Structure 1
């Protein structure tokens, strides 16, 4: 018996092959399909790294540090330093699926600068290295940025004696990044910024003060999408006398298994002589050629 596989939406469907029911000289062909959605295990994170890969517009004044963990721009005033974004790695930690965790530390070095052009978008590429399971995977996210004039009146996000505050955002609807581990598919979703090193109460916007190294924590969540099913016993061929009852059974490992039986590629429905089309046992009574 041969196996077949196809993917529908976020689920994986496995065909157990062709099973023949011979009644007289007539063959009935049946396919078994099963989908599974399981529950994920914890991850052991070894480290995270992040680099800033691009900015928009591309002609930002005095830009430096692309493809490093610290990107800077502008011409400093009063002998100070440039403004910029910095990503600081996190070390090893245990991560629970479906629970928020700190991906890394974000610092906006918000310094007085002069610039014809400042970034409105900055792209961050994060690499997560796991020791259990052993894998390394990359994710890319785009941060929005509004660098306000220090002497604006009124200040759009508030201000103090050092000038108007700026704002960094993870845009609403930031897509989740997908990765696989073993026989399971997961997503990493960035939930936003937290002012707490524990990552509590993340928000999508981070308002930053002038002449300050503003620190926040980037918070993410790993979510299980689906786990591939494993069929351990496929249904067997049967040869019966006309009018007898045919029973086909399959077994599979996994949690939250869903079954659907097919005849000649068409999904069967319960009713009449057919029952169990959404269970692991299909019953056909009073078989006829």
Structure 2
């Protein structure tokens, strides 16, 4: 095989994966941008330019939905990044029940968002089990999903409970990959647990942190199923998020307007994720 054949051969090896990527991701993305500029249904399409975007941004609840989306995404992401690491570190220790605890923590991940949402809607009802448990300790009832001041954070707690299992598994994989030799050397040098964590553990799992942060942020920014089943965006617009707005527009048959909202959501996620990924990846290289 000459040099030209080798050069062509490597591109042919890439073609199947590239073709699958273009069909599954590239083509739908392009079509989404096109259909966001049209008024369309399942039969006909009419090009209307940027009218869908103007209409979408003129919605009265959009500012609240955007604010709630970012609060929801960053709150769920940071909680999973921080607490997931500590849980994983504890489970990587010498606990005899670590295997059992791993199963318990990962179990909620197996449940669908709709199932979890319906279950916690009942549990967080004013007369539900959670408030009954609080009443046993003399604590007055908490209107978890009715009080607009705490409704969004109640859903955030449920999202954390459901998603912490995946986060923990990713961290455990990263922690297991660290050679014990580093910890032995640190112990010989007299390093404290805090110093060992700061200068050995943390730099070694930057890639795991990047993965957790990226996945949880993307999931949080586009999430709507849990909110839909628990609060339907209420009370008022206190738990309204961008994904829920898009979902409702599709349900109302406003496909062009909903597609424009999806494009805005896609662009918002890209503007957050790509710079953040670059920053964390740069830190990984430096360390």
The normalised TM-score by structure 2 is: 0.26
- The structure showing larger relative contact order (alpha-carbon pairs under 8 Å, at least 6 residues apart) is 2
Choose 1 or 2 for highest CA Rg. 1
The normalised TM-score by structure 1 is: 0.26
Q: Which has the higher helix share?
A: 2
